[in-house]
Amino acid sequence: MAVLTRRRAAIAPAIALAIAASVIAPPPTHAAVATPLEYEAEDASLFGGAGVNDNHLGYSGAGFVDGFILDHRGTAGVTFTVDVPEAGEYGLNLRYANGLGSDMTLSQLVEGEDRQIVLPSAVGASWSQWFIHQEAVELEAGTQQITFRFDADDTGNVNIDAIALTTIGDLSTPGGGATDPGSVPGTGPDTRWDGVTASLPTHSAPRGGATYEAESALFANGAKATTDASTVDLSADRSRVVVTTFAADARAQLVTIRYRSTATAPARLVVGADGVALGALSLPPSSGLREVAVSVPLRAGVGTLELRRTGDAIDGVLELDAVRLQRGTAPAERGATLGTTLYEAEHGLTDGTILAPSRTFRELAAEASGRQAVTLTGQGEGIAWTLREPADALVLRASIPDTADGTGQHGVLGLYVGERRIADVPVSSEHSWVYGGYPYGNDPSRGGAQRYFDETRTTFAKLPAGTTIRLQKDADSGSLPYTVDLVETELRAPALTAPAGYVDVRDHGATADDGTDDTAAIQAAVTAASAAGTGVWLPQGRFTVSDRVRLVDVSIRGAGPWYSIIEGTAGKGGLYAMGSGVTIADLMIDGDARHRDDARSDSGVEGNFGQGSLVQDVWIAHTKTGLWVDAGTDGFAAVGIRVRDTYADGVHLHGGVTDARVEHAAVRNTGDDAMAMWSSGGSVTRGTFSHATVQVPLLGNGAAIYGGDSNRIADSVISDTLTAPAGIAVSTRFNPVPFSGTTVVERNDIFRGGGWEPNWNTSFGGIWVFADTSHITTPVLIRHTRIVDSTYEGILVSGSHWVNDLRVSDVTIEGTGSYAVAARVGGDHRFRDVRVSGVSEPSDGRNHWWGTFIDEGGNTGLLATETAACSVTVRSTPVVDGRYTSVVTIRLTGPATPGVVSWRAASGEAVLDATAATVSQNGTTVTAQLDRDLRAKSATFVVRGTANAPHVAAPDAFTLDGVRCAAP
- pLDDT 10s digits, 270-288: 999 999 999 999 999 998 9
Ramachandran category for residue 255: left, alpha or beta (phi over 0 → left; psi -120 to 50 → alpha)? beta
* Predicted local confidence at residue 188, as pLDDT: 92
CB burial string 397-416: b at 16+ within 10 A, e below: bbbbbbeeebebeebbbbbb
Rounded Cα gap, residues 618 and 644, in angstroms: 11
Please provide the DSSP assignment of 483-504 as one string.
EEEEEEEE-PPPPP-PPTTPEE
pLDDT at residue 264 greater than cutoff 80: yes
User: Nearest to residue 926, comparing CAs of 344, 459, 475, 368?
Assistant: 344
Q: Which of 579, 710, 701, 569 is nearest to 632 (CA)?
A: 579
Res. 17: pLDDT tops 70? no
Q: What is the dihedral of CA 277, 278, 279, 280, to 10 degrees?
A: -70
Indicate the pLDDT class of residue 100, thresholds 50, 70 and 90.
confident
Kindly report which listed range (184-198, 342-356, 828-842, 920-934) carries the lowest average pLDDT score.
Answer: 920-934
Which residues lie across from 703 on neighbouring strands?
675, 728
Residue 766 main-chain phi, psi, to 5 deg: -55, -45
Calpha distance 357→397 (Å, rounded): 17
> Average per-residue pLDDT in the chain?
94
Please give the pLDDT value at position 896: 61
Q: What is the CATH number of domain 202-325?
A: 2.60.120.260
Tell me, yes or no, if the two domains 340-490 and 867-966 fold the same way.
Answer: no
Q: pLDDT tens digits, residue range 866-889?
A: 999 899 999 999 999 999 999 999
Write down the pLDDT at residue 23.
38
Q: What is the C-alpha separation between 83 and 88, in angstroms, rounded?
A: 13
pLDDT tens-digit map of 613-672: 999 999 999 999 999 999 999 999 999 999 999 999 999 999 999 999 999 999 999 999
Strands (E), 140-185: 142-149, 159-166
Select the CATH number that applies to the domain covering 340-490 from these four: 3.40.605.10, 2.60.120.260, 2.60.120.560, 1.10.10.10: 2.60.120.260
Q: Hey, is 438 helix, strand or coil? A: coil
Parallel, antiparallel, or unpaired: how do β-strands 755-757 and 762-764 relate? antiparallel
Which helix (H) or strand (E) covers residue 659, if one does? strand 658-663
Chain centre distance of CA 525 = 28
Q: Is the pLDDT of residue 813 over 70?
A: yes
Task: Delimit the domains of the chain by residue range.
Answer: 37-167, 202-325, 340-490, 495-648, 695-732+742-865, 867-966
Report, as an integer, the average pLDDT of 239-254. Answer: 97
pLDDT of residue 242: 98
Does residue 905 surpass a pLDDT of 70?
Answer: yes
By the 8 A CB rule, do 189 and 238 touch?
yes
User: What is the pTM for the complete model shown?
Assistant: 0.94
Q: Answer whether residue 563 shows pLDDT above 70.
A: yes
- In whole angstroms, give the CA distance from residue 3 to residue 5: 5
In this prediction, residue 893 carries a pLDDT of: 82
- Model confidence over 412-430: pLDDT tens digits? 999 999 999 999 999 999 9
CA distance 794 to 847: 10
CA 793/CA 909 separation, integer angstroms: 27
Three-state DSSP class for 393?
Answer: strand
| 934 confidence band (pLDDT: 50, 70, 90) | low
pLDDT at residue 711 tops 70: yes
CA distance 609 to 842: 49
Given this model, what pLDDT does residue 27 score? 58
How far is it, in rounded angstroms, from Cα 219 to Cα 323?
Answer: 14
DSSP string, 55-85: -SSS-STT-EEE--SGGGTTT-EEEEEEEES
Does residue 484 carry a pLDDT above 90?
yes
Q: Which CATH class is domain 867-966?
A: mainly beta
How many Å apart are CA 796 and CA 887, to the nearest integer?
38
Q: In the predicted model, what is the mean pLDDT of residues 164-179?
A: 96
Task: Kindly state the helix (H) or strand (E) to which residue 320 belongs, with its residue range.
Answer: strand 318-325
The answer on pLDDT for 20 being more than 80 is: no
Mean pLDDT of 135-142: 96
Residues β-bridged to residue 621: 590, 644
Q: Rounded CA gap, 670 and 674, in Å?
A: 6
CATH architecture designation of domain 495-648: 3 Solenoid (2.160)
- Mean pLDDT for 845-871 is 96
Helix (H, G, I), strand (E, B) or coil at 757: strand
Per-residue pLDDT, 935: 61
Per-residue confidence (pLDDT) for residue 958, from 0 to 100: 96
Topology adopted by domain 37-167: Jelly Rolls (2.60.120)
Residues 672 and 648: beta-carbon distance below 8 Å: yes
* pLDDT value of residue 938: 86
Which range has the worst mean pLDDT, 43-57, 136-150, 655-669, 954-968?
A: 954-968
Q: DSSP string spanning 759-778? A: TTTEEE-SEEEEE-SS-B-S
